[in-house]
Amino acid sequence: MFIRKKSGSDIPYSEVTPKSLYMDRRRFLAAAAGVGAAALAGDKLLDLIHPGASAHADTRLQYSKSQYSTTEKETPYQDVTHYNNFYEFSTDKDGPAKLAGTFHPLPWTISVDGHVKNKMKLDYDAIMKLAPLEERIYRHRCVEGWSIVVPWIGFSLNNLINKVQPTSKAKFVEFTSVYRPSEMPGQRTNILDWPYVEGLRLDEAMHPLTMLTVGMYGQTLPNQDGAPVRLTVPWKYGFKSAKSIVEIKFIDYMPETSWHRAAPNEYGFYSNVNPHVDHPRWSQATERRLGDFFRRPTLMFNGYDQVAPLYTGMDLRKWF
């Protein structure tokens, strides 16, 4: 990503870090000893292999399989949980995994407000009861040029939207992430304006692919991946998928999002994955899947063609 804020320090676009460089020695030794992460149970062992993973993160979930899943190979759990963008903790890719152990995802409340008939405050149990959980294996493309394939667990956000019943005034949905500087060291810096804010048009939020996500790889979300509840919007660049959400607000104007505020010429509101519209400082035509050596072509809408009708008649160069 890019940092324009008061710190004045730009983080250059970096290539995908080879796994060997970001695995620390402890984890390397554990892996070398043939200890499979999936086979490990118990907080202490989990913490040794995944520093920062909380007790919350190893709670197994019950779910069904989804029709929306890709059959592409999943990216290993170890990579997805140790190569993160979560600026509330750190701007280093391995920082969130190291630092997110101080964060306590439970108890949790999401406020749903704005132009809706039924305003709600949902605690974690209420969120988990909104709809049956599904596992959806989605491609996830970061604006920086790397991608992963993740078995997320959650349900379509429209389950919640239908319960709160937006009024005719609601045109956009604003998502706000948690603000807890005492637990999130990145929020004690001014790298972004806190809290992190993202947004979707109401019809994008209603699209069945848009997910309220509570888990991955069969279990609840690790802190560094957005525990306990995040958004997953698979046809948009990863930064649209706000982590650790505490507020969902239905509004009649296009919200000012964190990355648009930081660099309006680089990060548009829509941010659909589009290989034909380059980032001002790099091409978006190809991507590197974590773990692969060669780059691969990036697909329009990240391959989720079913969302194309949402943008009929729009100039996607202008509305990037």
Binding residues for ligand MTE, rule: CB under 6 A, are: 1, 84-88, 142, 177, 196, 225-226, 238-239, 241-244
Taking CB atoms, the residue at the shortest distance from ligand MTE is: 238
Asked if residue 108 lies in contact with residue 262, where contact means CB atoms within 8 angstroms, the answer is no
Q: Give the residue with the Cβ less far from ligand MTE, 66 or 90.
A: 90
Q: Please name the amino acid found at residue 262.
A: A
Least distance CB 32 / ligand MTE (angstroms): 25
Q: Give the residue with the Cβ less far from ligand MTE, 42 or 280.
A: 280
Q: Give the residue with the Cβ less far from ligand MTE, 88 or 287.
A: 88
Least distance CB 90 / ligand MTE (angstroms): 9
Least distance CB 299 / ligand MTE (angstroms): 17
Q: Give the residue with the Cβ less far from ligand MTE, 237 or 250.
A: 237
Least distance CB 290 / ligand MTE (angstroms): 9
* Tokens standing for residue 169: 């005034």
Q: Give the residue with the Cβ less far from ligand MTE, 242 or 248.
A: 242
Least distance CB 218 / ligand MTE (angstroms): 16
